[in-house]
């Protein structure tokens, strides 16, 4: 009746958890609470961010756009909103992460607070609140549909641009590596830079940075007398557990197992 899917989720996990979303519906996840020290979010279009979740912070995932996140901690609680793609007409939603939206939080809690009632006043109020929620989402996160692909062609990254980016990612402090800085380095607007980067490197900027970190970590594991904790910090991961989880996802084994295998081959 409301045309909005509302699902409350509570998860407990050991050290970290990851989520991945893609589909024909718009989704908004709103943070309610938990014990999480950091969260990294990546969108297929190239936008990525690292943050500490706060109450009422949102993760907006437009229809037909893949997005994934990795959280470090022990538990979390959030509410997931699902909107059919037709909800906002020909428009879509803007990929967003980290913004706090207490009004959206209040509307959700108010709608679900009267869910068990079946009197006419409650039904009318719930429908009115749902209409207000849709209008709020459209106003705050809505945008016009992107132009056809042919109209979005723009500047490409030259070989010098690519070299400059690789050197910066390799040498800069971890806190300095972000999309606005990378785009400014080659004199591009963010949306143009994302497309140009993916065309040149065949991965998103976020995935490229992770690949570079893992490659550097493999070299250090193979040759440097450093602990796993020290290496995780050197290559820019927020915690050793995040480093171990990401390393295993990409390499197939943990950093410790990789080191043991490479050192074992040298001893043979």
Contact 11, 17 (CB under 8 A): yes
pLDDT for res 34: 85
pLDDT for res 116: 80
pLDDT for res 83: 94
Per-residue burial over 23-35, b if 16 or more Cβ lie within 10 Å, else e, is eebbbbbbbbebe
6-15, 48-57, 79-88, range with greatest mean pLDDT: 79-88
Mean pLDDT calculated for residue range 1-27: 85
Apex CA 259: angle with CA 256 and CA 262, to 5°? 150
Mean pLDDT calculated for residue range 189-216: 85
44-55 pLDDT tens trace: 655 667 778 888
pLDDT for res 12: 87
Domain ranges of the chain: 5-143, 152-267
**Domain 152-267: top CATH class:** mainly alpha
Other beta carbons less than 10 A from residue 68's beta carbon: 17
Query: How far, CA to CA in Å, does 247 sit from each of 4, 95, 125, 213, 214?
Result: 38, 27, 50, 9, 6
Percentage of residues of the chain with pLDDT beyond 90? 28
**How many helices (H) does the chain have, and how many strands (E)?**
9, 9
226 or 190: which carries more pLDDT confidence?
A: 226
114-172 pLDDT tens trace: 888 777 777 878 888 999 999 999 999 997 655 555 444 557 899 999 998 988 887 77
Mean pLDDT of the chain: 83
pTM over 0.85: no
Closest listed residue to residue 215, CA positions, set 263, 251, 266, 182: 251
- Among 3.40.50.720, 3.40.50.300, 2.60.120.10, 3.40.50.2300, name the CATH number for the domain at 5-143: 2.60.120.10
């Amino acid at each position: 009746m409301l045309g909005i899917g509302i699902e409350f989720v509570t998860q407990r996990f050991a050290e970290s958890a990851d989520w991945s979303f893609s589909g024909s519906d718009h989704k908004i996840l709103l943070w309610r609470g938990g014990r999480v020290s950091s969260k990294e979010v990546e969108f297929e279009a190239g936008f990525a961010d690292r943050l500490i979740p706060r109450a009422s912070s949102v993760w907006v995932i437009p229809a037909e756009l893949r997005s994934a996140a990795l959280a470090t901690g022990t538990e979390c609680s959030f509410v997931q909103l699902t909107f059919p793609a037709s909800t906002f007409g020909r428009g879509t939603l803007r990929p967003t992460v980290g913004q706090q939206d207490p009004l959206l939080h209040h509307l959700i809690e108010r709608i679900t607070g009267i869910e068990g009632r079946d009197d006419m006043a409650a039904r009318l109020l719930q429908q009115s609140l749902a209409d207000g929620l849709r209008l709020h989402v459209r106003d705050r996160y809505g945008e016009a549909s992107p132009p056809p692909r042919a109209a979005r062609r723009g500047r490409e990254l030259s070989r010098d641009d690519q070299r400059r980016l690789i050197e910066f990612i390799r040498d800069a402090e971890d806190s300095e590596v972000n999309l606005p800085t990378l785009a400014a380095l080659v004199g591009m607007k963010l949306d143009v830079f994302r497309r140009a980067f993916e065309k040149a490197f065949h991965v998103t900027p976020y995935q490229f940075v992770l690949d570079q970190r893992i490659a550097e970590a493999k070299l250090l594991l193979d040759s440097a007398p450093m602990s796993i904790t020290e290496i995780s910090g050197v290559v820019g991961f927020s915690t050793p557990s995040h480093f171990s989880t990401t390393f295993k996802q990409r390499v197939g084994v943990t950093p410790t197992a990789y080191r043991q295998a490479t050192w074992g081959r040298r001893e043979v």
